Structure 1
Amino acid sequence: MLSTRSLRHIVLALATTLAVGCAPSLKVNVLQPARVNLGAAKRLTVVQTEGRKGARDFMLDELTRQARGGGYFQVADRSDEGIVVKVAGRSVQIINAGSGPAQSQDEIGLRIDVNDWDAEKKTEIVKGTDSKGNATEREEKFYEAKTVVSVTAFNAAGKAMLAEQEYETTGRGEDKDQAIGNAARALVSRILYDITPMYVQKSIRMDGDDKAQKPIIEVARNGNVPRAITEMEAYVQGNPQNPAALYNLAVLLDASGKYPEALELYTKAISLSAKDYYVDMKAECARRLANQQALSQ
């Protein structure tokens, strides 16, 4: 049987959880850098490919197709212009600039080296049961492929974000071409996953303790954040020492992507109130600002 003290702790913990769960919040989609940050660039240009021609052509076509489907990068192919790049540590030297224009600031150059691109026939025993529950075995034949490429990605200044990074995937199929195609498509997906920023939904908690601000909060939660900002700014002018008003205005600016202004208001609110989530939301805003700056370089 629970003691009175233990029961009190459980009730308090539950009350805290319910309070947080019922707290008003804004959900926003924020763009976060990928594992390999390519900065502000949205153009990928394949300048050099090495390896089997059929494999190189497949990689180019699949990279273009998947990038178009992802909607973030545009892919161009200049691999037939004679451009030659040499990787030296974390930098790239252009040995032969080719016949076209120089690489632009908003463009990432790619060198793709196909190292392995093959499949072999295999057999495995598949165990199961028949309709009567009896154990069965059957022999299944298939092809298993392995595709391996090395990728170098570099900006106009010659900085290599990826320097001969090796990617390896396997795939299965009923025939050799199908198996290789499955492996290669998965390989391109891995490359794009590593370099493509993605939108992540975040929840920013608001302060609902001041009843006078609740109509403004509802305006924001119903989707009209610009109007809520205008109304909250007017409220702050009349209540400049109200920490909840300063904090909620910070949240509204944060949700609008105005991170420097939001951070300033978070700081003012924290100086007037000791609420822990004020500090937490400020820290999250600072991370969003850092991500924004990383994606603008």
Structure 2
Amino acid sequence: MLSSRSLRYAVLAVATAFAVGCAPSLKVNVLQPARVNLGAAKRLTIVQTEGRKGARDFMIDELTRQARGAGYFQVADRSDEGIVVKVAGRGVQIISAGSGPAQTAEEIGLRIDVNDWDAEKKSEIIKGTDSKGNATEREEKFYEAKTVVSVTAFNSAGKAVLAEQEYETTGRGEDKDQAIGNAARSLVSRLLFDITPKYVQKSIRMDGDDKAQKPIIEVASSGNVPRAITEMESYVQTNPQNPAALYNLAVLLDASGKYQEALDLYTKAISLSAKDYYVDMKAECARRLADQQALAQ
């Protein structure tokens, strides 16, 4: 069985059955690692910032706001504690530990360096037509900003999952502050996109060929997957060589996030049946297990 910690990263949505052609399937939401995998950490701690103070404050506030809105990470600001980190290859060295407690295993430390944070006034000619179809031109004035920030993200062991990764964005606005704010908000969004795991909807095909299993599949269809598992386990006990029963139990466990147990049953079912989708669903389950393990590190 999965530990309670592993179950945090299992399927969170209730699986429901629906028809794809004549084949019943379970639809589930699974959590997949982001491009930059932070493992099990769900707390971002800003330990050091460099650059213009107003820009640094904006980055801290915006990162906190957007992370809260996304609902995955919590952000803590410890940039005033005197912590100093230095990037060394794919790791960091703590030059000064500061005045607060040491970084925990559940935290990702962040160093944010603001490299560019400015806007300039620009204009462009907007061409169009008037109500009579005549060509028109007008000059539109605006501010265009560029924000460039380097981000270092590291775990409590000093491993840098991001090492001075540079993010650069541009933005427009009616005035300088608005333009810079738009650019900076886009930059923070890009950073969070890179590090935040995403829920992805997947469908897992069931085997509807054995009519005796139809009532159990209907139980799963109603959303009661735990009861369907119990009933399918009883069915398997009396029909241990029934490949559809073994496979469908694997699907139900797969949909519940119990991936290793599901893989063992997929293997048994495949040894008794040559159905191609058995192999395909096992491969997808293996990928889900790999994702779960990556998120639990």
TM-score by length of 2: 0.93
CA displacement, residues 19-55 of structure 1 (integer Å, 9 cap, x when unaligned): 9533110011100000000000001000000000000
Q: Tell me the equivalent position of 2:43.
A: 43
In 2, the alpha carbon distance for the partners of 1:230 and 1:80 equals: 54
Residue 287 of structure 2 is aligned to residue 280 of structure 1: no
SS of residue in 1 equivalent to 2:82: coil
The DSSP-based 3-state class of the residue aligned with 2:157 is coil
Separation of aligned partners in 2, 1:197 and 1:179: 29
Residue 294 of structure 1 aligns with which residue? 294
| 1:90 equivalent in structure 2 | 90
User: What residue number does 1:32 align with?
Assistant: 32
More helix by share: 1
Whole-angstrom distance in 1 between the partners of 2:125 and 2:27: 50
Mapping for residues 250-289 of structure 1, pairs under 5 Å = 250-289=250-289
| Distance across 1 between alignment mates of 2:250 and 2:191 | 37
1:68 alignment partner in structure 2: 68
Q: Quote the Cα distance in structure 1 between the aligned partners of 2:65 and 2:262.
A: 39
Q: Displacement of 1:136 after TM fit? A: 1.4
Please say if 1:148 is aligned against 2:148.
yes
Note if 1:200 corresponds to 2:200: yes
In 2, the alpha carbon distance for the partners of 1:227 and 1:56 equals 53
Equivalent residues in 2 for 1:106-185, closer than 5 Å: 106-185=106-185
- Structure 2 letter corresponding to 1:263: L
Give 1:53's aligned residue. Answer: 53
Q: Name 2:13's counterpart in structure 1.
A: none
Alpha-carbon distance between aligned partners in 2 of 1:208 and 1:137, rounded to the nearest angstrom: 66
Instruction: Provide Cα deviations, 1:233-253, integer angstroms capped at 9, x if missing partner.
Output: 111111111101100000000
Distance 1:20 1:275 in 2: 17
Distance 2:202 2:260 in 1: 18
- Alpha-carbon distance in structure 2 between the residues aligned to 1:20 and 1:222: 16
Greater gyration radius: 1
Give the number of equivalent residue pairs.
279
Range with bigger deviation, 57-66 or 134-143: 134-143
Q: Which secondary structure state, in structure 1, belongs to the residue aligned with residue 21 of structure 2?
A: helix
CA distance in 2, matches of 1:21, 1:194: 37
Report SS of the residue matched to 1:24: strand
AA at the equivalent of 2:44: L
Give secondary structure in 1 for the equivalent of 2:34: coil
Instruction: Map residues 196-235 of structure 1 onto 2, 5 A cutoff.
Output: 196-235=196-235
Q: Which has the higher contact order (CA 8 A, sep 6+)?
A: 2
| AA at the equivalent of 1:111 | R
Q: Distance in 2 between matches of 1:168 and 1:199?
A: 26
Q: Which runs of 5+ in 2 are unaligned?
A: 1-18
Deviation at 1:132, TM superposition (A): 2.0
Gap change, CA 1:77 and 1:85, over 3 Å in 2: same
Moved over 4 A (4+): none
Cα deviation per residue 1:132-157 (whole Å; 9 max; x = unaligned)?
22221111000000000000000000
Q: 1:214-260, CA deviations, whole angstroms, 9 ceiling, x for partnerless residues?
A: 11111102100001001111111111111011000000000000001
Q: Distance in 2 between matches of 1:186 and 1:66?
A: 11
Q: CA–CA distance in 2 between the matches of 1:227 and 1:150?
A: 51
| CA offset digits 1:156-187 (Å, max 9, x no partner) | 00000000000000000000000000000000
Percent of aligned pairs with the same amino acid: 91
Aligned equivalents of 1:185, 1:273: Cα separation in 2: 53
Q: SS at 1:280's partner residue?
A: helix
State the Cα distance separating 1:130 from its structure 2 match.
1.5
Which 10-residue stretch deviates more, 148-157 or 231-240?
231-240
Once the two structures are superposed, what CA deviation does each residue of 1:110-130 show, in whole Å capped at 9, x if it has no partner? 000000000000000111121
Letter in 2 for 1:86: K
Tell me the amino acid that sits aligned with residue 226 of structure 2: P
> What amino acid is aligned across from residue 241 of structure 1 in structure 2?
Q
Alpha-carbon distance in 2 for matches of 1:233, 1:135: 75
